[in-house]
Homo-oligomer: A and B are copies of this chain.
Amino acid sequence: MPFKDIIVSSRVRLARNVEGLPFPTSDIGGIASYKRVLEGATAAAGFEYTLANMGELPDIDKEALVERHLISKLLCEKGSAGAVLLSKDRSVSVMINEEDHIRAQCIKPGNELYSCYRSIVKYDKELAKHLNIAFDSQFGYLTSCLTNLGTGMRASVMLFLPALVFCNKTGALINLLKKNGVTVRGIYGEGSRYKGDMFQISNTYTLGVSEEEILSVVDKAVEYCMQEESIARKRLKEERGLLLEDEVYRAYGVLTNARLLDSDEFMSQISKLKLGMSLGIINFTQTEKLDEIVLSCQPGNLCCRVGRRLSDGERDLVRAETVREALVNLK
């Protein structure tokens, strides 16, 4: 079973702060501090980028970026004091004045943890040439929140685990991961439920471990989850056979025909379809395209598509339209 059927995306982010400037969480600093950080962050970018100030970006565009994990909700609330620098291909995003002066991340579809790490380290090295990064020999990188002290690094991988959810095995899995220094969240961070059978796993600790150790901890956890999910999928197919086939095709039938699709039903149906595709039940090859459909059907992305804020009812209508179009093109 290819990795892409289980690993949706990989992400590595670094938290950095500038020596001598107050943390962005404090009220002091203001515009002078913002300008200095921005200057350094843009100077470090050895790639084409766009820059968006949070005071100027329309709300629906902010929401769409949040849904794609390119900025955080906290940054959106910063108004003109915050900004994001986005590489043209959107793999690198640098948040300016979020919780820390700099939150630089690299995100890629599929199993790309190490490649994300290499990309973001490259940016980080450039950054150090332009800004005086706050670093303590005992505590490592100094961060606004203590939970990020040390490496200031979070390595996370989004996993699609429908068979483990079906077999009711995710509770035990999450506990096991916790004991091994891995945190598990839903698709939209802390507290978000595991919609669409998506699980975001990342390192719990940033202090007292090296960057390589963090990558290794997360990578091993990913490996373990993949094995368990593969076994569960095989068993599911063997044991449920026709019932599973029925569910998968019904999901396809609903997604390609419904005129109204609320978020919960959409996530549940697309999960079944994706599982069916990965098990060869339904003959589509490009499962990763479904991940793009998932993102493009989140509320903010739907509003962006039509260029204005939508009511709940309108959203369900536009979501259904979007899915139909996308699936027709997929076939």
Q: How far is the CB of A271 from chain B (nearest CB, A)?
A: 16
17 contacts between A and B (CB under 8 A): A242-B259, A242-B317, A243-B260, A245-B259, A249-B257, A249-B258, A250-B253, A250-B254, A250-B257, A250-B258, A252-B253, A252-B257, A253-B253, A253-B254, A253-B255, A253-B256, A253-B257
Contact check: which of B242, B243, B258, B317 meets A253 at CB < 8 Å?
B258
Chain B hits for A246, CB < 8 A: 258-260, 320
Bound CA–CA A242/B259 (angstroms) = 7
Bound CA–CA A258/B252 (angstroms) = 9
What 15 new A-B contacts, CB under 8 Å, besides A243-B260, A249-B258? A242-B260, A242-B317, A245-B259, A246-B258, A246-B260, A249-B257, A249-B259, A250-B253, A250-B254, A250-B257, A250-B258, A252-B257, A253-B254, A253-B258, A254-B254
The range of chain A's interface size is 10 to 19
- Which chain B residue has the least Cβ–Cβ distance from A254? B253
Q: Which of A242, A245, A253 has the most CB of B within 10 A?
A: A253
Q: Which of A251-299 contact B (CB under 8 A)?
A: 252-260
Q: Mark A291-326, 1 if CB is under 8 A from B, else 0.
A: 000000000000000000000000001001000000
Q: Mark A144-179, 1 if CB is under 8 A from B, else 0.
A: 000000000000000000000000000000000000
Chain B hits for A243, CB < 8 A: 260
Q: How far is the CB of A57 from chain B (nearest CB, A)?
A: 32
Bound CA–CA A249/B256 (angstroms) = 9
- Which chain B residue has the least Cβ–Cβ distance from A320? B246
User: 10 nearest interchain CB pairs?
Assistant: A253-B257, A253-B253, A246-B259, A249-B257, A246-B260, A245-B259, A253-B254, A250-B258, A249-B259, A252-B257
- Which chain B residue has the least Cβ–Cβ distance from A242? B259
